[in-house]
Amino acid sequence: MDNFADKVAVITGAGSGFGREFARLGTKLGMRLVLADVEHDALDDTLAEVTAAGAQAIARRVDVSNGEAVDALARATLDTFGSVHLLFNNAGVGGNGGLVWENTERDWQWLLGVNLWGVIHGVRAFTPLMLDAAKRDAGYRGHIVNTASMAGLLAPPLMGPYNVSKHAVVALSESLYQDLSLVTQQVACSVLCPYFVPTGIANAQRNRPAELSNDLPPTLSQRVARALSEKAVSSGKVSAAAVAALVFDAIRDEQFYIYSHPHALNPVKTRAEDIVTPRNPTDPFAERPQVREQIVAALNG
């Protein structure tokens, strides 16, 4: 896809971070936008900004973990614009982290509900619409972008549920790529694997449903994980806007894997070597033993 003007883009998680930047760039490219987010005020802010800049856009408050809500988003897209060309399955949350066995069932339900089921619902609801459009129009081009993470290619400590969710998104995206190749050349897909980028994900607890909140306060390991995450995300040097530009370039080139920090692939290579050698997982702090010492000390109070 090399012409975005008048094309329809559906963006989940549009209220902040990558989602808002996708909307901003889509506006500059003359796209029509369907914006979705669970955070009403942030969603309204994005809608006001893009419409003021001249975009045709609608906004819907959507909890992507709810399949019926995503189905309704698909219907609203067709009712308003008649088609969809780009789908950004982008909504995501960070979770509590910490030692993996200390995460509650509610922690897992919330994080997998948004990070994994949100992408599943998006693929399930919108892919058939794209394939139908492709059958009706030989000139139609569609593209799906699923937001995963470098944590979908690695397994860093104190991030178990998040790692699981993002590994699943990478696997789902690779499966989608292979399945699409069997039935069409008009619909493509990509998986976005960003590293640490300053977005609102470190504060995602603000949107956690009350029914999935924990009765007890965070454990020591979860507090340590949260502090590490907040520091890493806030210190990121690559902006969400820069990542959005990379994504649109990848859509133009039909590039599947999208990385915000190519240098972060070195640990991915090491992990692949661990698997095929085979050998036990390499210490992620092998080159920074003082970091391991600090974390161990923190976990021991």
User: What CATH number is given to the structural domain containing 106?
Assistant: 3.40.50.720
pLDDT at 202: 65
List pLDDT tens digits, range 16-30. 999 999 999 999 999
Annotated active-site residue in 162, 177, 195, 257: 162
Q: Is 233 part of a structural domain of the chain?
A: yes
pLDDT tier, 236 (very low <50, low <70, confident <90, very high otherwise): confident
pLDDT tier, 155 (very low <50, low <70, confident <90, very high otherwise): very high
* Known active-site residue 162: yes
Please check the confidence at residue 279 and state whether its pLDDT lies above 70.
yes
Over range 217-232, report the average pLDDT. Answer: 92
Question: Radius of gyration of the chain from Cα atoms?
Answer: 19
CA distances from 131 to 15, 55, 116 (A): 28, 26, 22
Q: Is 2 part of a structural domain of the chain?
A: no
Which of helix, strand or coil describes residue 239? coil
Q: Is 130 part of a structural domain of the chain?
A: yes
* Residue in this structure with the two tokens 């129009």, named with its chain if needed: 137
pLDDT, mean over the chain = 96
> What percent of the chain has pLDDT above 70?
99
Amino acid found at 125: A
List pLDDT tens digits, range 79-120. 999 999 999 999 999 988 999 999 999 999 999 999 999 999
- Give the residue numbers spanning the domain of 277: 8-299
List pLDDT tens digits, range 26-52. 999 999 999 999 999 999 999 999 999
Cα–Cα distance measured from residue 198 to residue 42, given in angstroms and rounded to the nearest whole number: 16
Element (H, E) at 259: strand 257-259
What pTM was estimated for this model as a whole?
Answer: 0.96
Q: Is 3 part of a structural domain of the chain?
A: no
Q: Is 258 part of a structural domain of the chain?
A: yes
Total length of the chain:
301
List pLDDT tens digits, range 109-120. 999 999 999 999
Cα–Cα distance measured from residue 141 to residue 118, given in angstroms and rounded to the nearest whole number: 23
Give the count of domains, the chain.
Answer: 1
